[in-house]
Amino acid sequence: MDAIARPKIVTLDEAQALLAKEPELIVVFDQNVAWVLESLLGDLPPAKAYIGLESSEESKTMDTVLALERQLMEADASRGALLVAVGGGITTDLVGFTAAIYKRGIRYANVPTTLLSQVDAAVGGKTGVNLDHYKNMLGAFRMPEFTLLCPEVLKTLPEREFKAGEAELLKTFLLRDAKAYAAAVKNGVKNRPELILKAASIKADIVSRDPYEKGERALLNLGHTFGHAIEHLAQEKGEDITHGEAVAMGIVLAARLSERIGLASKGLEEQIKADFEALGLPMQSPYPVQALGEAMRKDKKAAGGKVKFILLKAPGEPVIQELTVNEAIDDLR
């Protein structure tokens, strides 16, 4: 019942061949990467419409989706149209959701232009927008027709955004491929398109086995339970921490917790910290565990009950462990 096709990851040539067959293309792009359009789509017949977006978490809302839906209507987009999302995770999340509800659902394809979206956001069919201060509160599962992985588009990506993507990529390798993790740690992933493709493929495999997150897909939350608490506190204090940075710090905390409850052998946290430090990723949460616990308790999913922590026995060997927030915080101290 749940079996769906594996998310399709394609090269530039393959994407161009697929797009050339489409009679009705509508391109929605992040204005910061308008330059990408020419090199990607320049040889194709003109699209029916080109819609530029501003990408910020503040504009990742239902209002933007509605504005897009109206632009689709104005462009007379039919049920056969294909939306092409060109941008980072904000753009692909927004466009995917817009596609999911326009005329009860039309197709879309992703051209992710950040490392984070290449290995994570643009692969796997989760789409959505924020509601008030709640991230990704509204959304739908809708698989893109394909995700184009093109290393070229990353050349203008700011270093800090690149690092944020690296954190998610390392997360994926820590779950399923200790060798690739070691390779990524050794030299980083700049100019290593094969590692980027590998991380995206591992995610695609996980999603194809568990598209609706009934089990295995939850592993992709490694580092995120703590990471979200860190992001939450940063936002409250008006401090600037990216999602990827928070995830890196969260993975270190997950490693510490894994050691403290006797799941991982001693040294895992130190190893991961050293790895992240070598890559220039942050590793230390600026907030004490007590404050993180409070933030996690406020998260309504955690209220009273147990939280599913994604922990590690070792790189490549994740374990889902249910603990209350109090238990986790006591162990971390």
Ligand X SMILES: NC(=O)c1ccc[n+]([C@@H]2O[C@H](COP(=O)([O-])OP(=O)(O)OC[C@H]3O[C@@H](n4cnc5c(N)ncnc54)[C@H](O)[C@@H]3O)[C@@H](O)[C@H]2O)c1
Q: Contact residues for ligand X (CB under 6 A)? A: 30, 32-33, 55, 57, 60, 87-91, 93, 113-114, 116-117, 120-121, 124, 126, 135-136, 153-154, 156-157, 161, 164
Contact 81, 99 (CB under 8 A): no
Whether residue 168 lies in the annotated active site: yes
**The amino acid at 64:** T
CB of 185 to ligand X, least distance (A): 21
- Among residues 48, 60, 110, 126, the one annotated as catalytic is 126
CB of 265 to ligand X, least distance (A): 30
> In angstroms, rounded to a whole number, what is the distance separating the alpha carbons of residues 279 and 164?
11
Looking at the Cβ atoms of 120 and 177, the one nearer to ligand X is: 120
Compute, in degrees rounded to 10, the torsion defined by CA atoms 118, 119, 121, 123.
90
CB of 115 to ligand X, least distance (A): 8
| Assigned token pair, 31 | 């204005």
Whether residue 224 lies in the annotated active site: yes
Continuous H helices in 210-281: 224-237, 243-260, 268-279
> In angstroms, rounded to a whole number, what is the distance separating the alpha carbons of residues 137 and 309?
21
Q: How many CB atoms lie within 10 A of CB 307?
A: 17
Pairing of β 147-148 and β 49-53: unpaired
Whether residue 269 lies in the annotated active site: no
CB of 18 to ligand X, least distance (A): 21
Whether residue 163 lies in the annotated active site: no
- Among residues 166, 221, 245, 259, the one annotated as catalytic is 221
Looking at the Cβ atoms of 141 and 314, the one nearer to ligand X is: 141
Residues 6+ apart with CB under 8 A from 33: 86, 87, 113, 153, 156
Coil, helix or strand at residue 256: helix
Whether residue 8 lies in the annotated active site: no
Contact 154, 162 (CB under 8 A): yes
> In angstroms, rounded to a whole number, what is the distance separating the alpha carbons of residues 70 and 183?
46
CB of 69 to ligand X, least distance (A): 19
Whether residue 228 lies in the annotated active site: yes
Whether residue 213 lies in the annotated active site: yes
Pairing of β 82-87 and β 107-112: parallel
Looking at the Cβ atoms of 110 and 258, the one nearer to ligand X is: 110
- Among residues 243, 245, 259, 273, the one annotated as catalytic is 243
Whether residue 217 lies in the annotated active site: yes
- Among residues 213, 216, 294, 327, the one annotated as catalytic is 213
Contact 138, 131 (CB under 8 A): yes
Looking at the Cβ atoms of 206 and 268, the one nearer to ligand X is: 206
| Assigned token pair, 285 | 């949460």
Q: Is the dihedral of CA 164, 165, 168, 172 positive or negative?
A: negative
Looking at the Cβ atoms of 30 and 177, the one nearer to ligand X is: 30
> In angstroms, rounded to a whole number, what is the distance separating the alpha carbons of residues 268 and 319?
14
CB of 61 to ligand X, least distance (A): 11
- Among residues 142, 171, 198, 217, the one annotated as catalytic is 217
CB of 162 to ligand X, least distance (A): 9
Looking at the Cβ atoms of 123 and 329, the one nearer to ligand X is: 123
Active site residues: 104, 126, 168, 203, 213, 217, 221, 224, 228, 243
